[in-house]
Amino acid sequence: MIAVDTNILVHAHRGESPWHESADRVMAGFVEGRSSWVIPWHCIIEFIAMVTHPRIYQPPSHLHVALEQVQSWLESPSLILLSETPGFYSTLATTLSQAAVVGPRVHDARIAALCIHHGVTTLYTADRDFSRFARLHTQNPLVAPR
Q: What is the pLDDT of residues 45-95, one digit of tens each?
A: 999 999 999 999 999 999 999 999 999 999 999 999 999 999 999 999 999
Tell me if 108 is assigned to some domain. Answer: yes
Please give the Cα distance from 140 to 78 (Å, whole number): 21
Residue 9 banded pLDDT, cuts 50, 70, 90 = very high
Q: Tally the domains of the chain.
A: 1
CATH classification of the domain holding 135: 3.40.50.1010
Res 75: pLDDT = 96
CA distance 68 to 110: 26
Kindly report the average pLDDT of the chain as a whole number.
96
Q: Give domain status of residue 17, yes or no.
A: yes
Structural domain that includes position 83: 2-139
- Put simply, whether the predicted model's pTM sits higher than 0.85 gets the answer yes
Check pLDDT > 60 for residue 43: yes
Amino acid 145: pLDDT = 64
Please report whether residue 146 resides in a domain: no
